[in-house]
Amino acid sequence: MVLNRFGMLVASLAVSALAATEMLFSNSAFSVAPGPTEGSLWVLSRGDVASGMTLLNLKEGNGGAVQVVSSKQEVLATEKTAVQDGIFTDALAERRRTPAVIAGNLGLVLPRFGEDDENRFRIPEGFFSVRRLDGRSIYDTPFENLPESVADIDTAMDYAVSGFAYDSSKSVLWMAGGVSGLISYDISKGTNSPKESFFVFDSGKKTLVPLKSSSSEDLKKYTAVFDVAVHPKTKELWFATAKGLWIYGDDGSVRSASKLLDTMRVTGVWMGGDPLQVVVETSARVKESVKGNLFRQYGAAKDFEKVDFLDTAKKVVKKNVYDNADYTINNVVFVGSEAFVCVRAVDASVSGFLKLDSLGVRAYEGDDGSAWLYGFNMGVTDRDVIITSMTEFSMPGGIAGLAISTYGNGISVSADTGKTWTPILNRAKLSDNLGSIRMVPSVIVAGSESLVSYKVAKDAKITIEVFSYDMKKVRRIVKSAPRSADASRSTNAKEDFWDGKDDQGRPCTMGVYYVRVKDNHGHVGWGKVMTLGGNKR
């Protein structure tokens, strides 16, 4: 038994059994990345009890739909996670993403967070590496030589890892560690004999200063590092900092990557595509607002330029769309000459991706005459949920697949470069005519969502109601709502969910609740869900 951050005892075997019965660990997915084989994806998801990894194997089905061939899951330790608890509330761009990278023999690498005194996951502790999924293949790697001076930092999240890059030519994993600078994890002599090193950046002297674990340096006098990338051609390390974008050469020298960006707070850098694009985000909290911009170096261009937003007539829009929307970047995906910029708005649930080509961000027809953000409105998801990350991966037949992760609706996958999308959620087998009702997830907090999953053999009108343990009705979700017969699931994901609240919008008290689903043909089914009460995130 273990104590989770809500102060409840949770049986580890019960958590494992829950994960094993579903296609994903949870429908709240925070990161998606290419898997180890063609047509496979890694998915990091986190429920209200614990976190887990899923490895999906996919194929293209009829009509361009994507089908799941098989899946494996493994649960992360309950007291650790790869998702920090401020991911939806923090205004700082570098803290609003869950970075991930494929790092040679380390496999998929993700950050690691432990709990603070308030049982919140906000203590940076190293990283996870995921190599297979066989019940013992998620490796928990704490920082062994973290400088002693880190203990003097006021806020632990100031030294959180917010970016990864892997140099395959040298077998070195690089990490951006905020005020703790750059961290290198050298596995050139094998994963069992790593060499861990810390460097802080002196932007005035343009040097990286090595730090030992016993170092008592005042880290506040150095420049924070927020992201890293390895140039695909030169193999040089580029790093984004609170004072510009820099390049670390093979000879140990440090030089500026852009005169334009030298005085800016650069929070992210991404590279890829053909011709090569380098996409950069600047972002800073200024009083009550976030000031940010999107820059790019395209092909043979000598320096960066601010990315243009074009209307449907291909004319550049004068207003700063990126800054006005308060966007921050989750990550950037490159497919040929096009980039997909996955973004989310600060202090809002608006999210999606921008399509960036050689001219800029292209608009499509929207309600106001033009729009730029692809999300629920364009069929990327079948529910209006927060998009948390995006990736490109290879599918059988030479298809360039795209995948996004969402908070509450699993992942969506495209086999035609974003023209059509297939949602992939927890899809345990259901029997016809309300013969089985599943609540996914089966444990929630008030304000999150548990999907009511059911199937009917013929078209029906459905009524869904929630009852307390003593069978008092607390909520009617839908009444006589039309639902179609379906071979797998008749659930309308946009309506058929419970958010842990009663009919008056008040959070229900912690406990087990029963969900009754009735149709107009005399069939009745029951499901069960537990709420942990008010939302403590």
Rounded distance, CA 76 to CA 73, Å? Answer: 10
Write out pLDDT tens, residues 420-443: 998 888 766 788 999 999 888 888
Write out pLDDT tens, residues 67-81: 888 888 888 877 889
What is the 8-class DSSP label of residue 160?
Answer: -
Number of alpha helices (DSSP H) and beta strands (DSSP E) in the chain: 2, 41
Fold of 438-531: Immunoglobulin-like (2.60.40)
Q: Is the peptide bond before 34 cis (omega within 30 degrees of 0)?
A: no
Query: Nearest to residue 38, comparing CAs of 61, 65, 69, 64?
Result: 69
pLDDT band (50, 70, 90) for residue 244: very high
Query: Nearest to residue 110, comparing CAs of 118, 119, 101, 121?
Result: 101
Rounded distance, CA 250 to CA 522, Å? Answer: 73
Rounded distance, CA 315 to CA 422, Å? Answer: 33
Mean pLDDT, residues 231-244 taken together: 97
Q: Which helix (H) or strand (E) holds 322?
A: helix 321-324
Write out pLDDT tens, residues 488-511: 788 887 899 999 999 999 999 999
pLDDT band (50, 70, 90) for residue 13: very low
Rounded distance, CA 24 to CA 294, Å? Answer: 34
User: Which two structure tokens, joined as six digits, stand for 118?
Assistant: 């308030």
Which position has the higher pLDDT, 309 or 396?
309
Q: Which helix (H) or strand (E) holds 341?
A: strand 338-345
- Sheet of strand 182-186, all strands in order from the earlier edge strand to the far edge: 163-167, 172-176, 182-186, 195-202, 207-211
This prediction has a pTM of 0.81
User: By the 8 A CB rule, do 110 and 162 touch?
Assistant: no
User: Which two structure tokens, joined as six digits, stand for 265?
Assistant: 């707070």
User: By the 8 A CB rule, do 173 and 236 touch?
Assistant: no
| DSSP codes joined into one string, 91-137 | --GGGSS---EE-GGG-EEEEEEEE-TTS-EEEEEEEEEE---SSS-
pLDDT of residue 48: 66
Rounded distance, CA 220 to CA 144, Å? Answer: 22
pLDDT of residue 109: 97
Rounded distance, CA 350 to CA 310, Å? Answer: 20
pLDDT of residue 428: 65
Report how far apart, in Å, the C-alpha atoms of 131 and of each of 103, 106, 108, 196, 206 are.
Answer: 10, 7, 7, 20, 37
User: By the 8 A CB rule, do 292 and 306 touch?
Assistant: no
Rounded distance, CA 174 to CA 181, Å? Answer: 11
Q: Which helix (H) or strand (E) holds 19?
A: helix 12-20
The pLDDT of residue 3 is above 70: no
pLDDT of residue 427: 63
How many other C-beta atoms lie within 10 A of the C-beta of residue 169? 9
Write out pLDDT tens, residues 101-141: 999 999 999 999 999 999 899 999 999 999 887 777 899 99
pLDDT of residue 396: 85
The pLDDT of residue 11 is above 60: no
pLDDT of residue 34: 96
User: Which two structure tokens, joined as six digits, stand for 119?
Assistant: 């049982």
Q: Which amino acid is at 316?
A: V
Report how far apart, in Å, the C-alpha atoms of 210 and of each of 182, 199, 213, 255, 520 are.
Answer: 9, 4, 10, 17, 71
Report how far apart, in Å, the C-alpha atoms of 324 and of each of 91, 153, 304, 375 are.
Answer: 15, 32, 21, 18
pLDDT of residue 148: 86
Beta bridge partners of 515: 466, 527
pLDDT of residue 284: 95
